[in-house]
Structure formats: structure tokens, C-alpha cells
A and B are shown apart, each in its own frame.
Chain A
Amino acid sequence: MQVGDASQSQVQSQSQGTPHGTLQGYDPNSFFCEMLRPGQPQHPTLTLLLSRLAALPIASLRHRAQEAERDLLERGITFTVYSDATAIDRILPFDLIPRVITPTEWHQIETGVIQRVRALNMFLHDIYHDRKILADKIVPAELVLKNAGYCQAMVGFNVPFNTYVHVCGTDIVRDETGTFRVLEDNARTPSGVAYVVENRHMSLSVMSDLMTSLRVRGVDEYGLRLHNAMAEIAPPGVEDPQVVVLSPGIFNSAYFEHVFLAREMGVPLVEGRDLTVEAGKVWMRTTAGLAQVHTIYRRIGDDFLDPDAFNPDSMLGVRGLIEAWRRGAVAIANAVGTGVADDKAIYAYMPRIIKYYLSEEPILQNVETRICAEPDSLAYTLDHLHELVVKPVAESGGYGLLIGPHASKAQLADFRVLLKADPANYISQPTLKLSVSPTLCEDGVRPRHVDLRPFAVTGKDTWVLPGGLTRVALRPGSLVVNSSQGGGSKDTWVLA
């Protein structure tokens, strides 16, 4: 995640009035606040929401927060953390003060995400077919063709509607000027959508008085939209396609979400051992015998999908699945080989990729990114290491990155060695001053940094779930919002 300088103080103009009541003492400092929204046009709903929030006694907020936490634990809205031999069910901490998005802001996010998903799909089709973008030297061929996410089995293979990324999670942050910027694309199996819906249920149960009569856009449509997309991509000629969700099983840390997806779509939640390929088709083992499966929404990584095609040791996948897919007997979402598109190295080229295919300016900007494989960028990065965030391109989950301003001299020196040894493995970005949102903390309602992951579902067309997962870094000053590293989440209210 990005880093900002909390010590730098700056007077801000508060267009929504001075924080009072429960919000008294709330000071976002120089960060952009998603609730007070300095310098942005006022929205009447937001003004009303702020006054309601300010009037809620802090003791009441704390009581509600406890209720919410107990409820989440009891309902098993959890992810599983493994340490040694023990498995612990943890809840993703829920902060009950919502993060708000105005209609104007949402319009930009929605159109920006749709544009980005279109470009990603066109890019994937191109690099697995004519490779025009490589021939035109917009993106270095080596970066694509030697990428670990590039899948030879996909070359020349056509997918319905040329859609590869059926479900995309776009991580978006906001800088101190209030400008939205894309931090990364998640085009493989993005997770977190279950929390979007569960957080809304939680808001309705513990914050209903805050929400009364406010026009907040619903999030319950996700399962229906996803099922429609899965039905659209099923092999042609099937009237009532059988969709399944393929999960690694009950021990997977995201199992709750797999349950959620199957339940919301009303389809079976299967594991690899429930499926078999016979006579070129994919079947599931039911009480009445084999029943044909037409679309698989898989929550298993490419490598584990089919021991015949990829990792031969995989126990999670289905033997012969890829061959059946290539013959058109079944649809798989997301398609295999999308990892190349959400690679951090490719990310740096996304603005150029959008312009190349769509002849449009990106609606959502990237964070300014330097590719250390390029000599100038490497030199700049080495010179400014103490003020940059340097990320390995193949990692995810917030591990293995350097946050320059927070690093010791020794850490900087060590990282310099790593970087010089393998510059192509790194990109660097300036430290961002992430926006904040009021959050219930030990010492009251305080600003905490947030990001946003909207979810886009694409079959024939793209639909974006209004809102998305707002993750919040609960520790003071922290910018790490990852659930694996102490982050929490908020309900995201898109105002109508």
C-alpha cells in the first residue's frame, strides 16, 4: 500500500462545516476525507448523514460495533488463518461508519472500470492471437510472452464475446487532491464481494437509523448478475445451462465467499472431486448419476485447474477439464491465462493499452509508476528509494514490498541490493497520501486510510456492482488495508 506523511499539517477548507458531536476532534489533517470532502460540491444526503452521525453518542456506536462483531463471528462471516497446525476463524473487522460515494464520483468509477475491463479483455485477446500491441511496440513483447501468467494453452483459442475477465476487482485509491487512481487490477479470481453484501446486511441491522430514508443503491443484485453472465457464456444451444462454483474446499481461507457465491446464484458448490470429464463433456456427480455442467465459475488458480494441462500434482482440479474447455463443451470463468493482464509490470502500461485499443483517454488514472526494467526508471528509483514504494511484480497480498519513508537505513541498503540484482522484478511508485474516512477507534471517531475495490461482472456486457469493498487500515497512520495484515472493511454507500 501507499504511504503518506501524517506529520505534514495543512489547513483544509471544510465545505461541510466543522465536525461536532461524535465527530468532534475528528481531523483528517492534510488527507482527503471521504465524508467531509473538502473542496467538492455538497450533496444534501451527505450533509444529512453527517449530522445524523454527529448526533450518535459514542457509547451507542461502541455498543453497535460489539453487536456487529459478535454477529459476524456467530454467523461465520470469517476467513481462515492458518498457523502451524491450527486453523483460526477470523472475522474481517467491520467498521460500522459507512464510506460514502456520491453519484458523480460513482459515475466516474463505473465508467472508468468498464473502460478498463474492456481494455483488459482486448489486450488478452490480442496477446493470445495477433499480438498487434507487441508488434507495434506499445508493450515490450518480452514482458508479455515471458510473463509467468502468460499461458501457451490459450494461444489461438477463442472465448465467448472475447471475454476473458468475467469478474474483475479494480483496486482504487484516492490521493490528497481527491483524484481517484487505480492501484491494481485483479483479473484472476478477485475476492471480497461477499463482504460487500454482508457489510450491507450488517449496516441494515446495526445502523438502520443512520440509513433511514437515505437513497443508497442496493447491492443485492450481484448473484443474479453473475448468474446471467455465467449463463451467457455457456456453450451455445443450451437452454438452461448448469452453472457451478468450483472451490478448493472447506479449508480454503475464502471458503465463506465460495458459499456466498453458490448460494446467491442458487447453484451447486462443488470441488474438483465432484466433477469428471467423460465423452468430452464435463459432468458433476449427483445422487441421480452424472449431470452435465455448462459453466464453471472457478475459485481455483490456473495451475490447479487440471493436472493434465498444468500442475500434475494438483488434487483440487479436474483431469481433462482444459481439453473439454478447448473443445467448447464447457465455459470457464475467469478464463485461464488472465494473470498476465493483472501483473504489476503490465499495470504500468495500462494507460497506453487503453489508448491503443479504445482511442480514449483513461477515465481512471494510474498511480504514477516506474518500471525498473527501464534504465532511467531504475536510476530514478535508486536515487529516490527513501521516498518511494517499491513493489515486486509477481507478489500479492502486501508482502515483499519496500515502503521507503518507513524503512531504516539498513533496510534501504538491503533493498538496494535486491533491486540491482533483479530490476525487472520491480516497479516503483510515489508514496500516496491515501484518503481517509471516519472510523470508530479506541480514542473516538478518527480518520483512517481507505481504498476501494469495485467488482465488475462481464458476460456479453459489463456491469459494475454499485459500491465495492472499502478496506480500511485500522491502525493509526497505517496504509496497509490487506485483511491478512490487520485491515478491516466498511460498508460502501453509493448515493442515488
Chain B
Amino acid sequence: MDTIPPRHRVHLIARHAESTLWLARYIERIENMARILDVTNTFARDADDSRNWLSIPRINGDLVEFYKKHTEATQRTVGEFYLLDETNPTSVQSFITAGRENARTLRALISTEMWLQINVFYGRLRALTAADVSPDRFTAVCAMLKAGAQAHTGITEGTLYRDQAWHFYMIGRYLERADQTTRLLDTRFHSLAPRSDTADADLAAGQWNALLRAAAGYHAYRREHPSGYTAPEVACFLLANTSFPRSVGLNLAQVEWHLTQLRARYFLRMSDALERLDHLNGTLTFANVAELASRKLSPFLDYVQREIGALHQDIVGTFAF
């Protein structure tokens, strides 16, 4: 590879590398949460209201915590729990606070424009009130959250210097996207798996529709599969497809590219992570995913989630002392 020989070696503090991973992950979580809230809000009125709203605490493994604070799942309670509740570690309030804290740690490293946008975005989120989770404001708030997270992504693309820190940042973003997509798929498979009779077909179609819309994949999926939905096809689209920006397959391929860059350009030992990734990619073939989706996908999704978590640990583990 052609590189300009550096005047001197530019080191990256190990703690900062970990912070960049987390910064990317937290901002990505905000966007994902906004997508799920928004799409649930859109489709909830068509189906059993509380069952739909409850899918969000389920996705996040928050059922116990949610029921400690609320008795039923509605737009208002779920909205409060995820948009306003500072004590809930999976609320957008906690995400932006943690994201901003990581950005603050990295402030000497990231671009000033990245910091400025996060700081302003933080102010906007902190100013949310109960009025913002009311029916007439809900969608606008979700749009604001998505736009804020996407502005961050765009500013990062355009301004973050592409040295080691950038590679770690991108790994964080792709790991988080891969993880969120498995979670999204998991809840829908939970609710859809037992429903194979024709009476529920419309409902099922609505659910697949919502799932693909939450992942911003509805139209792309339509292009690939113009006739209806099947569980194997949706699962393959979200897990094995390597063109869809939020598919697990594409995101893991990106992680792999950044890991090999870190190894080749900065001589970082990434062997554990690359080996694990190799195994994981081997399971994400169309044939395998289609086969699993026709039977039971959940244990496989659990496995993918665990492996994504382990990948994060492998990566930060290479520079743990």
C-alpha cells in the first residue's frame, strides 16, 4: 500500500480507541431507537396496541425494568421510558449523555464540527419534555433524533481524520448496526413464528412491513422481492445480504475491512477478532440463514449477538493491560 512516510509515529491512546468505539455505538443506538419508536408508532394503531409497544422493551431486554416503572405498554409509557427517562440506561437520554461523554474524552482528537454537533444535539435532547411524547409530536421527535444522528454520521464522514481513531470509530458503528439488526429481527420472529395460519397473514404482512421500514429497508426489499414476504427471504435480506446498509452481513464485512487496515497499516494484533469474524461470516450464508429461518431463528440470532459482543471484547482486549 502506498502511504506517505509519516514524520513520526502517531500513537493512539488505548483508552481513546475504546472511547471512539463507544461514541459511534451510542450515536448509532439513538438512530436505531428513533427508527423503532417511529415505526411502532405508525403501525401500532393497526394492531393490538400494547403488544406492539411492548415489543420495544422486549427488543432491548428491558421488560423487568419497564414494568418496575409502568403498568402497561402504551405510546406514552414506552415513549417516556425511552425518550425521557434519564435513569433508564437504554433511553436516548442515556445514549446521548454517554455519547457526549465519550466525545468529550476524545475532544482533542475528533473534529471541532463533530463536537459542536454532538453538543447541540445533546442540548436538544435534554430539552425534551412530556409534551414531546404526545401523539401530535411523537413522529417529529423521532425525525429529529434520526436527523441528529445522521448529521453526526455525515459530519464524521466529512471531517474526521482517517487515522487509527477513524478505523475504531467505524468498527463501533458497524458492530452496533449489526447488533441492532439482529435484535430487530429477533422480536419480530418471536411474534411471527407461531403465526402460520392464513387468518393472520395480513397481520403478519403488516409486521414484516414494519420490520423492514424500521430498518429503512422496505423499498430495497421490495425491489429484490416484489411478491409478498417470506420469513427466509426477510431473514436473508437482513442477515446475509451484502448490499443493504443495515444488514448484518454488510456491516460485518465492513468491520473486517477496518480490522485488516488496522493490522496492515498500524501493525495491531487483531488475530482473535479476525478469526472470530471469519467463523461468524461462515454462518451468515444465504443457504444457512434461509434454512434456519424456516425452522427457528432465535437461537441463531442470540449466537450472532453474543459473537458481536465478543468481537468488541476481542478488539479492546488487544490493548488491555
Binding site for B on A (CB under 8 A): 74-76, 240, 242, 245, 250, 255-256, 258-259, 262-263, 268-271, 273-274, 276, 284-289, 291
Smallest beta-carbon distance A247→chain B, Å: 9
Q: Give me 10 other A-B pairs in contact (C-beta within 8 A), A240-B8, A250-B105, A268-B11 excluded.
A: A76-B107, A76-B119, A255-B104, A256-B107, A258-B108, A263-B107, A268-B13, A268-B16, A286-B14, A287-B262
Kindly list chain B residues whose C-beta atoms are within 8 Å of the C-beta of A268. Answer: 11, 13, 16, 108
B108 touching A288 by the CB < 8 A rule?
Answer: no
Q: Report how far A250 CA is from B108 CA in the complex, Å.
A: 11
The chain B residue with its CB closest to the CB of A71 is: B116
B101 touching A287 by the CB < 8 A rule?
Answer: no
Q: Report how far A242 CA is from B8 CA in the complex, Å.
A: 9
26 A-B contact pairs sorted by A residue (CB < 8 Å):
A74-B120, A240-B7, A256-B107, A258-B108, A259-B107, A259-B108, A262-B108, A263-B107, A263-B108, A274-B13, A276-B321, A284-B11, A284-B13, A285-B13, A285-B15, A285-B319, A285-B321, A286-B13, A287-B13, A287-B262, A287-B319, A288-B11, A288-B266, A288-B268, A288-B319, A291-B9
B112 part of interface (Cβ distance < 8 Å)? yes
Smallest beta-carbon distance A137→chain B, Å: 48
The chain B residue with its CB closest to the CB of A273 is: B15
A75-B101 contact, Cβ under 8 Å, with A240-B7, A291-B11: no
Q: Report how far A286 CA is from B164 CA in the complex, Å.
A: 11
Q: Report how far A240 CA is from B9 CA in the complex, Å.
A: 10
Q: Report how far A288 CA is from B14 CA in the complex, Å.
A: 8
Most B-side CB within 10 Å, residue of A259, A262, A276: A259
Smallest beta-carbon distance B73→chain A, Å: 32
Kindly list chain A residues whose C-beta atoms are within 8 Å of the C-beta of B318. Answer: 287
The one of A76, A245, A262 in contact with B115, judged by C-beta atoms closer than 8 angstroms, is A76
Kindly list chain A residues whose C-beta atoms are within 8 Å of the C-beta of B277. Answer: none
A285 touching B14 by the CB < 8 A rule?
Answer: yes
The chain A residue with its CB closest to the CB of B8 is: A240
Q: Report how far A74 CA is from B117 CA in the complex, Å.
A: 8
Q: Report how far A274 CA is from B319 CA in the complex, Å.
A: 12
B14 touching A287 by the CB < 8 A rule?
Answer: yes
The chain B residue with its CB closest to the CB of A263 is: B108
Residues 9-49 of B at the A interface (beta carbon under 8 Å): 9, 11-17
Kindly list chain A residues whose C-beta atoms are within 8 Å of the C-beta of B9. Answer: 291
Kindly list chain A residues whose C-beta atoms are within 8 Å of the C-beta of B16. Answer: 268
Smallest beta-carbon distance B274→chain A, Å: 15
Kindly list chain A residues whose C-beta atoms are within 8 Å of the C-beta of B11. Answer: 242, 268, 284, 286-288, 291
Smallest beta-carbon distance B316→chain A, Å: 10
Kindly list chain A residues whose C-beta atoms are within 8 Å of the C-beta of B14. Answer: 274, 285-287
Q: Report how far A440 CA is from B161 CA in the complex, Å.
A: 40
Kindly list chain B residues whose C-beta atoms are within 8 Å of the C-beta of A285. Answer: 13-15, 319, 321
The one of B107, B112, B116, B164 in contact with A287, judged by C-beta atoms closer than 8 angstroms, is B164
Kindly list chain B residues whose C-beta atoms are within 8 Å of the C-beta of A240. Answer: 7-8
The chain A residue with its CB closest to the CB of B120 is: A74
Q: Report how far A189 CA is from B267 CA in the complex, Å.
A: 37
Kindly list chain B residues whose C-beta atoms are within 8 Å of the C-beta of A284. Answer: 11, 13
Residues 260-313 of B at the A interface (beta carbon under 8 Å): 262, 266-268
B13 touching A250 by the CB < 8 A rule?
Answer: no
Most A-side CB within 10 Å, residue of B11, B105, B318: B11
A269 touching B108 by the CB < 8 A rule?
Answer: yes
Kindly list chain B residues whose C-beta atoms are within 8 Å of the C-beta of A250. Answer: 101, 104-105
Smallest beta-carbon distance B13→chain A, Å: 5
A74-B13 contact, Cβ under 8 Å, with A285-B321, A286-B319, A287-B268: no
The chain B residue with its CB closest to the CB of A256 is: B107
A287 touching B17 by the CB < 8 A rule?
Answer: yes
Q: Report how far A132 CA is from B13 CA in the complex, Å.
A: 45
The one of B12, B104, B116, B268 in contact with A75, judged by C-beta atoms closer than 8 angstroms, is B116
Q: Report how far A270 CA is from B105 CA in the complex, Å.
A: 10
Kindly list chain B residues whose C-beta atoms are within 8 Å of the C-beta of A269. Answer: 107-109
Smallest beta-carbon distance B240→chain A, Å: 31
Kindly list chain A residues whose C-beta atoms are within 8 Å of the C-beta of B321. Answer: 276, 285
The chain A residue with its CB closest to the CB of B315 is: A287
The chain A residue with its CB closest to the CB of B102 is: A250
Kindly list chain A residues whose C-beta atoms are within 8 Å of the C-beta of B17. Answer: 287
Residues 82-106 of B at the A interface (beta carbon under 8 Å): 101, 104-105
Q: Report how far A258 CA is from B106 CA in the complex, Å.
A: 12
Q: Report how far A259 CA is from B101 CA in the complex, Å.
A: 14
The chain B residue with its CB closest to the CB of A245 is: B108
B12 touching A287 by the CB < 8 A rule?
Answer: yes
Q: Report how far A271 CA is from B108 CA in the complex, Å.
A: 13
A75-B8 contact, Cβ under 8 Å, with A274-B13, A274-B15: no
Q: Report how far A271 CA is from B105 CA in the complex, Å.
A: 10
Kindly list chain A residues whose C-beta atoms are within 8 Å of the C-beta of B262. Answer: 287
Kindly list chain A residues whose C-beta atoms are within 8 Å of the C-beta of B109. Answer: 269
